[in-house]
Chain A
C-alpha cells in the first residue's frame, strides 16, 4: 500500500510572530520556516507503517510557494521515498488545498492519506476532513493510535473527555494528533541521501482548480492584552483576594 502524506510549510513553532502595525497581516520577512509539527507526526507514522511492512511507499506532497520544496526535502530526509511539490502563489485555503490533494490522490492512488490535524499558522483544522469529504472516503481525525488491517483501519481518536475508537473502510484519511508518536530527527547521512530522492515539481494551475480565496481577511490584529495583575506575598493574601473577587 502506498501512503500519501501532505506536509505544509509554516512559521517555525518557536518563532514569536509579529502583527504588522498597519493591520495588513503577520510579518513573515526573514522568519524561520519549518514543517508543520502535526505533519511531522504524520510523516513519522507513515514511515513506521512502511517499516512494519504495512506500507510499500511513502510519498510526501506540499502545496505552496517554491520554498515548499524544502519542506518536502525534510520529509524525504526523515525517510519518505519521493516528493511532489505543487507551486501556488499566495495563500491557498484548506478547501482549495483539499481539491488539489484530491487530484494528487487520483494520480497516485494511495490506500491511506495521513496529515496533521491542523496547521499552526491558520489553525483551521479542516484540510483532512475536507479531503475525505471530496474523495467520499471515511476520516479518522485527531488520531492517537492506528491499527492498520488489510481492508480497514482502526483509529483511536482524541475527543473531548477521552478517547474514541472507530473502524474505517480503506482507503481513508487520517489526521495526526500530538500523541500519535514522537517524530524522528533526520540524520546527516539521510539529509544527504534526501537530496538525491526524486521530487516532482508542478504548477497548481495545471489542475484546473479554482484557487481564489472564499474568505477575505479584512484586518489582522494583536490579541487584546490583559491588564497586568499584582504579586502577592502569601497564600492567606491570595485567598482574601479570591474571596473578594467572588470566585471561591
Chain B
C-alpha cells in the first residue's frame, strides 16, 4: 500500500510541519505520495518532489482550495483516498478541521495527534491532556492520521532526482462555505510551532502590559516565538493563538523558557518535548521545576530584565 502525505504549505514553500509529518510517514514504511492542495502550488510541489521517500507528488489546484476550507478539502481527500493505506497530515488547524470530515465520509475512525508510529496500523497518541499515552490499533482499511509535529524531527529535502509531479482532478466545490477574511498576529516573529526558541508567560505576569513589557524584549533578543499558558490566555494577557498546551499548540523548540508558569499538566503536555526547558518562578514548589532542566527561583520582574540585558 501507499501513504498519502497531505502537505502544509503556503503555495511557494512547504511548511516545517510537512517535514515533521514526513518523518512519521517514513516510519509507516510504504511508498509516499505527497498531496499539495491549493490555488497555485508549483513552488511547494517542486520542494516536495525532492523529499526522501517520496515517489510521486500530486497537485490539486482550484479556487475553492485557496483558503483551506474543510468542505472542498475533505471532498478532495475522499476522492483520492481509495488508492491509499494511510492518509497522513500534520495536526495543523487546517488538517484538524478537514481530516475528521474526510474520515467520516470514508467511514473510518481517525487517529488524532499521533506521537509515534509503531506499525502501519498501530500508533501512540496522548489522551487526558497528555496524562496517559495510549497505543491504538486501527481495524479500518484506510488509516486517517494527524501527526503531532512536536513529537517528530523534520526530515529535510535531499539531493535527488525529483519525483514526478502530476495534477489530479478536483471535485466540484460543495458550495457550503465561503472565505470571508483572516487576521494574523505579529507576523514578524517565528511561528510558534516551528520556532527554535519559545519564550512563554503565565498568569504571574499579572497584566497584558507587563506580559508584553517583560517577554517581548527577551523574545526579540533570542529570536523567539512567544507563547502563553492557558491561565494567561484566560486572564486576557495574551491572545489564544499563543496558547501552549493540550488545548492550544504543542511545541518542541530547542529552548523553552517558562516564565511565571506553574506547570499545570495541560500546559506541560504542549511543551515537554522541548530539548531544554528553563523555568523562572518565585514559587520553589511549582511543578514546572520538576520538568525543567534549569530552574531559577525568584521574582520574574527582576530576573527577566536581567536575563534580557545579559543576552544583549
Please report A residues at the B interface, Cβ cutoff 8 Å: 11, 16-17, 19, 26, 93-95, 98, 118, 120-127, 129-134, 136-139, 141-142, 144, 154, 157-169, 172, 177-179, 213-223, 226, 228-232, 234-236, 238-239, 241-242, 245, 247-248
Contacts and interface: CB of A to CB of B under 8 A. Distances in A.
Contacts of A236: 310
Nearest to A239: B310
Contact of A214 (B128, B140, B193): B140
Contacts of A247: 197, 254-255, 275-276
Given A133-B74, A160-B249, A215-B136, A167 B113 contact: no
Interface of B: 67, 69-71, 74, 92-94, 96-105, 107-113, 122, 126-140, 174-185, 187, 191-193, 197, 222, 230, 233-234, 240-241, 243, 246-247, 249, 254-255, 265, 269, 272, 275-278, 289-297, 303, 306-307, 310-311
B276 A125 contact: no
Contact of B191 (A134, A161, A216): A161
Given A129-B104, A162-B182, A248 B94 contact: no
A162 B307 contact: no
Contacts of B107: 95
A120 B128 CA distance: 6
Q: Name B's interface SS.
A: mixed
A152 to B, nearest CB: 9
Contacts of A138: 71, 174, 176-177
B37 to A, nearest CB: 16
Nearest to B290: A228
Contact of B177 (A95, A120, A166, A222): A166
Closest 5 CB pairs of A and B: A130-B104, A138-B176, A129-B100, A162-B184, A133-B104
B191 A160 contact: yes
A222 B133 contact: yes
B283 to A, nearest CB: 13
Given A130-B104, A154-B180, A247-B197, 13 more contacts: A124-B110, A126-B110, A133-B105, A162-B182, A166-B180, A168-B176, A213-B109, A222-B131, A222-B133, A226-B291, A232-B294, A236-B310, A239-B311
Contacts of A130: 100-101, 103-104
Contact of B303 (A26, A216, A235, A245): A235
B182 to A, nearest CB: 5
A169 B174 CA distance: 11
Contacts of B292: 229
B69 A141 contact: no
A216 to B, nearest CB: 5
B133 A223 contact: yes
Contacts of A166: 69, 177-180
Contacts of B137: 215-216, 218
Contacts, number: 254
Nearest to B297: A231
Contacts of A217: 134-136
A95 B105 CA distance: 10
Nearest to B175: A169
A16 B112 contact: no
Given A229-B293, A241-B294, A248-B311, A158 B139 contact: no
Contacts of A139: 70-71, 97, 101, 177
B272 A141 contact: no
A199 to B, nearest CB: 28
Nearest to B253: A247
Contacts of B296: 231-232, 234-235, 238
A165 B295 contact: no
Nearest to B265: A16
A121 B101 CA distance: 21
Given A94-B109, A165-B180, A160 B307 contact: no
B97 A142 contact: yes
Given A121-B127, A141-B70, A242-B278, A215 B178 contact: no
A68 B193 CA distance: 36
